[in-house]
Structure 1
């Protein structure tokens, strides 16, 4: 069912020059599903080009190696019928042809344009704002300041930090007027908004605004912000401590450390990064004076999350906020926030009774888009003489910037606790978490949302312990894994891991990475004057669960038999149009190409979670299957009525209802032409726990400090794989983001002035194509028990594992020189300095 093309088994692959069964004929052309190609329309030319390249050169250009698939699923479960294969993404051709609708494409009749004046200092009182010249400038329709925003009551953003902290502490949530009122607290904060006939006129006029400031002391380091006597950012946040919590058993941990034969301690900085999606932030707001409703076009990860935040910020009822979005060019957590600019546009749209549009520049993005990570952790691991883990404790400071984004503090407070023991049966755990406010851009969830940080911390501790105790790092992990027979496993902090096979995942990764041959490769590197290292990370993360009461998917059947599926979860490149269509097509037995996904349609009134936290396949994806089943159940009696038989006398297969008593039959389309055929599926699912093992191998040139990642292996358990092409694409992107953070990405502020020193791509190094060579991707799946599909989620696994694997590989290369533990970013300059210092003996 759901056939995706005609397979030609045994063809000779022009890409790998080997036998391959993944070439299919589609639309009159060949398509290789072994590799991710921009679109099937380009495949023929791509193959022809590659046929002219020598075999060995083709192999070196491949960029990805596909290992043999593996599964330890129960024999009663089968892999997804049309999934698991490398099915081409349905949305790609539309996007490549320029038919996507992104921020710059949004237009409404008579729309005006906004520009923002931003604070040029990190902490200051606003003495006065002179807008006279700006108001007189050509094309200007209005100028708005903090006084207007304060009068509108747009002061209190939503907070998701609703649970109690240490000793019952409630989160201290600072107010944030959408245009700064009385004081600015970070460079880039919105101070005034100009609306004009054109974007250029608005920008020119904004530069005419004169602001008089009274400088205040600045603090940008979180530890300094929490120190006695530090500059205070908000009156209701004494000591700049917005929240504090503890988790675990402090007494049990203390007892375990007292009897430990060995203790490993590390101080780790998980650096502040700029998410930098390809599409800039943008918003277009229209206002209907008759109904009092706002139509807000904005790139989102889910319309319900955005609506809820804007309603809280403004007091405008939910039913008066119509959120619309279509294509979104990357998210990484950044698209789930109702930014102050979006809300400020509502003031202008209502005042002018005209739509108002704003599109951010890349410079604005660096100084006002939410930043990510910025967690600073001191961690200790206690072991007995045989290397058995006895306890772990940590002290975690989260730098959340000058204000709290809704999900900002939730990520470091919740996600690390959920998987505090990682993949290990560590019996005693304890942690202390503090949220600090600083004169910097507010921080929010970034791909992984503190899951990479806790995995990084644990895996750095494990490798450092292995080195200090002279135990093979893989063996140390084996000794402490939660064994397969222990599942479901309740962790010391209360999470329940449903199913996994950590030893199996590790074993496959060790084989694919050829760990047994590493010593020879290291010796070969030494002969060439290079330092070679290998590092691994075995990790687990929580996924799946969401904050909304359920997820809904609506299916509508047209008279031609095609189906429209509606969802509030919103893709930012994850391939929902393909994955959802595959699941629905599998359930109904029809080709995925006959199913059209429509996202962000507010008029449908659906309930559901936004796309983030690797949850969409678990929630909305599973509900796609439920909705398909419900459609058959709903349509069966209708079909029986049309055929004049009882429902019990009707069977369904491949889009056709058939009478068992006669040759009469009716298709879904024919039935929909006679009666409206619409159903809404729903479901609520808890946390899932995807896991995996990544092994990185690096070479470092001691003369320059330049690191080359020569091999990277991933083996992951994400449960049932719906589409390998999409899973591998997610892995590629997430691993690349991990590489970027380890080897260069780092937002830096001047400690004295709070000025942003990395405000462009000239100063902030993004991962480049040349960094990323071969990635070997494999899976070792167990059938998840939370979703009927057996899925667990996959979007963040690459970030979660890559930080530890890469850092451990670098330290493995440097450790023989006596280099002490280093932390990210592991830039060439930092490594060169460390190597030089080690050679000098200090």
Structure 2
């Protein structure tokens, strides 16, 4: 794998020379502390019995053989969970406008009925993990099978098998956005109308660290160790599952081996673990197998999309209309509704000045694993649909793909730009789409592509090039965020916040930001993220490309509070007026004199008095980008090679360029994984056909051969640092870019439509039936 040079095109950067991530030594030498590495004295071990069918009534459940097995301490079922009030329901993130969402509830373990393969039916607690697993296999369950439905479109049809009595027609939520009347009028006068139907297939998050939990009780307080993206959200989620007040719940996470959205909230298994620990009076630990990861970690995507674009005779966009059917799985997750409603609506017009925009989104329940936010959370799907539609509009009208985009871009001078598909208060803050596209085309040598295509044809290969331009929402989520800075007796400094890293480099970059304000070496500041033994803080987790905007800005604000407090204390210590006190190089001094006192000395002299705390409204911004991909297809085998990829992103001011590039790389690989191989499929009976790495294609490092990452910096006016967020940009841009390139390669052979993933078999078949 090679990577081209990285450029800063415009704007400014506050990035400092990269010395390596502070956390890397610990993580690369095996000294990381993941959930499975945590143990408590006297702990027992748990295993789950899971449903082996997608839809059935539980006619009988005999746990006697399991209770008689060696080492078994307890076996709990749905009746135990229901009696204790431990359920699978939890606070939902608010979806878009519409009637209240229909939310089925039930105990943390299946009671009377199972609704997807992998749903937990019972938990066994034993002295060892192997004893628990052996005993779980002895539980006898008699099922009365029921018809299953695994496609959300089929689930919404009349006569489909009903999953929940309180969700009529399997329709959990139905919402609309934009101005339907204005869109209808625009379509009526349009010279061209382009229609497209596509699927963003179900995918499995598959973090390196499987789901795991360790539950223990400290009197009436529940402690839970588990992978998490943020302590506040996990605490509230677990409180919702158990019925405990939040102050009686403590959640803990140190290192997290990947998250991608699926570690944002508590799982029903965690509530079952809490109940099991309560029942046996000991800590209880559980580490999922990789099979359980496939069958019970919440999945992503699973959206069926159709859209129409209306154009005038000159190729200007008049209106766009969307119709989505989204799979929620068997139960709504906390983020399942908001993922494909709020985020998608904010991107429904893409980077284009489309006067009229509207859409409808329906969320249906099916006999499958629940869906949650997965890297991009609705953003890649909408970017994919808009940019595929624009390419088809170019083909329909005969306009050049680049010209039709340039003709319809929102101009830079129009920002802030009111979003037609969103409430009046929502506006894109800043972007420069013309400059983004120009930079991407130059890096990709777009003008030289014709010669490369001709050379490929001489070798019997099909070569294609594609582009995409996008703007996406980032940030927000929680109303406010807090951070605190405290001083230890030895002079070290602790920075406290709630977002928990899963590979982003928080331990490196957040102390760097605070250190710049305090003018001390970053090594003196240690990040304490999501800790229950520190200050109680509000805030969202590490999702939605929000951490630098939210936690970065509030960390800087907390450091400024420290300096404000320190100035008064220094004035007292130096017997001077506070107005005569200045701060530089880690010390307060009287202006015009050599009298000074260091920050550390002041903290030691006044224990606790220098500690600072800040709270800020959670900012929102709109990162944007232009990507170009070039592919080559072997028509005899359908094998597609990604020969070049260019990513030009506007993520605002860059704080740490190396970490930012890492986020773009990660996002690209996840998006390209979905384009070229990842897909989770069920058969008609609800059995997962891709529940192992033998059947589920994960992206490999050799998927990308030549990648250019370029940054264009248009600072966000919505936060002091001017940052915009970058965690999902690679995924948002890569889905439409790569698919546009693949279809460009196949179009000369008559292929007009192709669903993701563009596997060799699918491409080969498309060429044969083109």
| TM-score normalized by the length of structure 1 | 0.89
Distance in 1 between residues matched to 2:114 and 2:493, nearest whole Å:
51
Distance in 2 between residues matched to 1:176 and 1:543, nearest whole Å:
33
> Contact conserved, 1:129 with 1:210, CA < 8 A, in 2?
yes
> Contact conserved, 2:498 with 2:539, CA < 8 A, in 1?
yes
Compute the displacement of 1:156 (Å): 5.4
Compute the displacement of 1:579 (Å): 1.2
Compute the displacement of 1:161 (Å): 5.1
Q: Within 5 A, what are the aligned runs for 1:715-754?
A: 715-751=648-684, 753-754=685-686
Aligned residues: 764
> Contact conserved, 2:95 with 2:338, CA < 8 A, in 1?
no
Provide structure 2 residue ranges, at least 5 long, that are not aligned to the other structure.
none
Name 2:531's counterpart in structure 1.
601
> Contact conserved, 2:58 with 2:112, CA < 8 A, in 1?
yes
Name 2:273's counterpart in structure 1.
345
Name 1:542's counterpart in structure 2.
473
- Picking from 119, 124, 133, the partner of 2:65 is 133
Q: Which of 96-105 and 501-510 deviates more?
A: 96-105
Compute the displacement of 1:661 (Å): 5.0
> Contact conserved, 1:560 with 1:670, CA < 8 A, in 2?
no
Q: Within 5 A, what are the aligned runs for 1:754-773?
A: 754-773=686-705
> Contact conserved, 2:318 with 2:356, CA < 8 A, in 1?
yes
Q: Which of 92-101 and 329-338 deviates more?
A: 92-101
Distance in 1 between residues matched to 2:94 and 2:25, nearest whole Å:
44
- Picking from 469, 487, 490, the partner of 2:415 is 487
What SS does the aligned partner of 2:517 have? helix
2:733 counterpart of 1:801:
yes
Compute the displacement of 1:660 (Å): 1.9
For residues 653 and 161 of structure 1, do their structure 2 counterparts lie closer, same or farther at Cα, with a shift above 3 Å needed?
closer
- Picking from 484, 504, 513, the partner of 1:583 is 513
What SS does the aligned partner of 1:297 have? strand
What SS does the aligned partner of 1:336 have? coil
Compute the displacement of 1:500 (Å): 1.0
2:565 counterpart of 1:631:
no
> Contact conserved, 2:88 with 2:268, CA < 8 A, in 1?
no
Distance in 2 between residues matched to 1:161 and 1:373, nearest whole Å:
17
Name 1:820's counterpart in structure 2.
752
- Picking from 41, 64, 79, the partner of 2:13 is 79
Q: Which of 253-262 and 206-215 deviates more?
A: 253-262
Compute the displacement of 1:427 (Å): 0.6
Compute the displacement of 1:176 (Å): 2.9
> Contact conserved, 2:302 with 2:327, CA < 8 A, in 1?
yes
Name 1:707's counterpart in structure 2.
640
Provide structure 1 residue ranges, at least 5 long, that are not aligned to the other structure.
1-60
Deviations 1:493-515 (A, max 9, x none): 23201111111111111100110
Name 2:295's counterpart in structure 1.
367
- Picking from 301, 306, 314, the partner of 1:378 is 306
Name 1:172's counterpart in structure 2.
102
Q: Within 5 A, what are the aligned runs for 1:315-334?
A: 315-334=243-262
Deviations 1:539-590 (A, max 9, x none): 111011022x311111112355431101111111111111101111111222
What SS does the aligned partner of 1:617 have? helix
Compute the displacement of 1:164 (Å): 7.0
> Contact conserved, 1:174 with 1:237, CA < 8 A, in 2?
yes
Distance in 1 between residues matched to 2:395 and 2:327, nearest whole Å:
31
Q: Which of 188-197 and 460-469 deviates more?
A: 460-469
Distance in 2 between residues matched to 1:208 and 1:482, nearest whole Å:
63
What SS does the aligned partner of 1:273 have? coil
Name 1:11's counterpart in structure 2.
none
2:319 counterpart of 1:391:
yes
Distance in 2 between residues matched to 1:156 and 1:758, nearest whole Å:
25
Q: Which of 664-673 and 156-165 deviates more?
A: 156-165
Name 1:66's counterpart in structure 2.
5
Distance in 1 between residues matched to 2:313 and 2:747, nearest whole Å:
22
2:445 counterpart of 1:506:
no
> Contact conserved, 1:559 with 1:671, CA < 8 A, in 2?
no
Compute the displacement of 1:159 (Å): 3.9
> Contact conserved, 1:161 with 1:171, CA < 8 A, in 2?
no
- Picking from 458, 462, 485, the partner of 1:527 is 458
- Picking from 311, 318, 335, the partner of 2:263 is 335
Distance in 1 between residues matched to 2:593 and 2:689, nearest whole Å:
77
Distance in 2 between residues matched to 1:314 and 1:329, nearest whole Å:
26
Compute the displacement of 1:662 (Å): 3.0
Deviations 1:71-115 (A, max 9, x none): 1x4xxxx532xx254442111112112221002111111000000
Name 1:401's counterpart in structure 2.
329
Distance in 2 between residues matched to 1:228 and 1:756, nearest whole Å:
25
What RMSD in Å do the two structures reach over aligned CA positions?
1.2
2:160 counterpart of 1:230:
yes
- Picking from 459, 476, 487, the partner of 2:404 is 476
Deviations 1:380-438 (A, max 9, x none): 11111221111111110010100011111111011011121111001111101100100
Distance in 1 between residues matched to 2:287 and 2:23, nearest whole Å:
25
What SS does the aligned partner of 2:604 have? helix
What SS does the aligned partner of 1:276 have? coil
2:170 counterpart of 1:240:
yes
Compute the displacement of 1:468 (Å): 2.2
> Contact conserved, 1:559 with 1:669, CA < 8 A, in 2?
no
What SS does the aligned partner of 1:525 have? helix
2:21 counterpart of 1:89:
yes
Name 1:112's counterpart in structure 2.
44
Name 2:283's counterpart in structure 1.
355
> Contact conserved, 2:8 with 2:713, CA < 8 A, in 1?
no
Distance in 1 between residues matched to 2:505 and 2:286, nearest whole Å:
27
Distance in 1 between residues matched to 2:435 and 2:557, nearest whole Å:
32
Deviations 1:504-534 (A, max 9, x none): 1111111001101010111111111100000
| TM-score normalized by the length of structure 2 | 0.98
Distance in 2 between residues matched to 1:96 and 1:161, nearest whole Å:
36
What SS does the aligned partner of 2:340 have? helix
> Contact conserved, 2:330 with 2:366, CA < 8 A, in 1?
yes
Distance in 1 between residues matched to 2:159 and 2:276, nearest whole Å:
41
Deviations 1:478-506 (A, max 9, x none): 10100011111102123201111111111
